[in-house]
Structure 1
Amino acid sequence: MLQLLTRSVLGPLARAVYRPVVSGAEHVPAEGPVLLAANHRAAVDTAALGLVSPRPVRFLGKAEYFTGRGPRGRAMAGLVSALGYVPVERGHAKAGLAALEAARRVLEAGEVFGIYPEGTRSRDGRLHRGHTGVAALALATGAPVVPVALSGTDRVQPVGARLPRLARVEVRFGAPLEFSRYTGLAAAPAIRRAVTDEVMAAILDLSGQEYVDTYHPRPERDAA
C-alpha cells in the first residue's frame, strides 16, 4: 500500500521534473512474476525504474537501511520501504544465498523484481559481464525476464555527486525473454551462464553501450 501511494505521489512529480522518455512498457506482463534486468548507470537507477514501471517493483536493500535510528534513520527506512526494497543482510559468507532467496520469495508471490546483473553500477559507462543470479532466479521460478536499458541517470547523479541534477532520462523495456526450454537444468553452471549472456545481449541491444566481457570490480564501499 505504501509503495503504491509513493508511486502515485512521486511518480507524477518525477515525470514532471525529469520528463523521462519511456518506451516498451507494454512488454512488462500485466500479471504474474517478472524479472526486470537492467543496466546500472547510477544510484538513482532504482528510483527511476521503480517510478516508470507499469507495475510496482521490488528491489534488494541493505538491512541497515531499515534499522536506522533518529530522524534521518527513520526517514531512510520509510523511503526504502516505500520504494519497495526488500531487506537483506550483507557482509557475510551466506549473503548471496540470502539475497537470492529473498528475491525468489518476491517472484513466487507473483510480484515484479528488479535486478542489475552487473552487480554494481558502471563507473566507465560500459556494459559489463553479468553475474548469473538473474539466470538462477529465472530458471528456479519460471519468471520471464524483461531486459531494461537506462540512460541519462549517470548525468542526473554522476559518481561522487550527493544531490541529483536535472537531465533527461530514458528507460527502454525490451520484449520478455523466457527460458522454459531449460526446465530442470537450473543447477548446470553452463546453462546459467548461457541464460545470463542472452539477457545481457538483450540489454546491450537496448542500451547501445560498449560491452566488456569482464565483471565490473566492486568499489570497496559496495563490497563491504
Structure 2
Amino acid sequence: MVTVQQPEPDEQTTGEVSVPGIGLAYVIGRWVIAPLARLFYWPRIEGRGNVPRKGPVILASNHLSFIDSFAIPMASPRPVRFLAKASYFDGKGIKGWFSREFFYAVGAFPVERGAGQAALDALDQQKRMLEAGWATALYPEGTRSIDGRLYKGRTGVAFLALQTGAPVVPVGLIGTNEIMPVGAKFPRLRPRVTVRFGEPLDLSHHGPASSGRARRLATDEIMAAIHALSGQELANAYNEAPAQNPVERIRQVLPHERR
C-alpha cells in the first residue's frame, strides 16, 4: 500500500486537471438515451425531491451492477457526473469512438486509475466538479457487490463531503443486479429497478476532513442511510476486490482510516 503525507489545504497537490462541461453527447444521452431506458425498464423512482436542484451534491449509492452509473443519472432530476477509467475513452477506430461518445453521453469523464499521484488527481477532479456546482455520483463500497450484500464504506466520499461542504444524498438501488449481474456483457429485460433517493446529509458535525475519526463516523452515517434505503443484508466487512471507482483509490494515499 502506498502512503503519502496528506497535504495542507493550501498546498498544490496536482497538476492542471480540467473539468469538462456538457457536450452534445451528454445532451443526447440525457434527452434521448435516458427516456428510452425509462420506457424499456420502467424504473420505480422514489425521493426525487430530496436531490437539491442547484449547487454541489454527492449522490452516494450502493453498488450492485455495471449499469448503476446509468441508473442513477437516468433517475436523477438533474444532470449527474461520475468518473470512469480512462481506458473507456482512449480506444481506436469505430469501437473506440462509440465507447467514448457513449460514456460522455451518460455523464462520465475519464480519469486514470491507480494509487499515489493518480489517486490524488482523481480526488482533485472530483473536488473541482463539486466546486463547479455539479452533482456527482460515487460508491462508498468502492466496487460492486458480488453477493448482493452491503459492504462497509471507504472514507473517500466522506473526505470529499467534509472538505467541500457538499451535502450527501444517499441512494439505494434495488434490482440492477437482476438486469445486469456481475460478469454479464449485456443487460437483460428484467423486473423493474427501484432507485431511492434519501434525504440530504450534512456531515459537517463530525469534524474536519483531516480527522480520521470524522471521516469514519461520516462514512458510517452515509452507509446507514444507504442501508435503510436498499434493505440489503450487511456484510460487516470491506469489499476487498480492487476498487472500480477511481476516487475510492484515495484510501491508499490518505492517513489510515479508523475502522
TM-score per shorter chain, which class?
Answer: over 0.9
1:75 aligned partner: 98
1:99 aligned partner: 122
Structure 2 distance, partners of 1:220, 1:121, is 8
1:132 aligned partner: 155
Partner AA of 2:145 in structure 1? S
2:234 aligned partner: 211
In structure 2, the gaps of 5 or more residues are: 1-22, 247-259
2:254 aligned partner: none
Name which of 214, 232, 235 aligns with 1:191.
Answer: 214
TM-score with structure 1 setting the length = 0.94
1:171 aligned partner: 195
CA contact (8 A) 1:86 1:102 kept: no
1:112 aligned to 2:135? yes
| Closer, same or farther: CA 222–119 of 1 in aligned 2, 3 Å | closer
Partner AA of 1:208 in structure 2? G
Q: SS state of the match for residue 196, structure 2?
A: strand
2:80 aligned partner: 57
Q: SS state of the match for residue 164, structure 1?
A: coil
Q: What is the Cα deviation at residue 5 of structure 1?
A: 2.6
Structure 1 distance, partners of 2:226, 2:123, is 21
Q: SS state of the match for residue 43, structure 1?
A: coil
2:9 aligned partner: none
Q: SS state of the match for residue 4, structure 1?
A: helix
Q: What percent identity do the matched residue pairs reach?
A: 52
Cα root mean square deviation, aligned: 1.7
Which has more helix, going by share of residues?
Answer: 1
Moved over 4 A (4+): 219-223
1:141 aligned to 2:164? yes
CA contact (8 A) 1:179 1:195 kept: yes
Name which of 156, 159, 166 aligns with 2:182.
Answer: 159
Q: What is the Cα deviation at residue 214 of structure 1?
A: 1.2
Q: What is the Cα deviation at residue 217 of structure 1?
A: 1.8
Partner AA of 2:179 in structure 1? V
User: How many residue pairs are counted as aligned between the two chains?
Assistant: 222
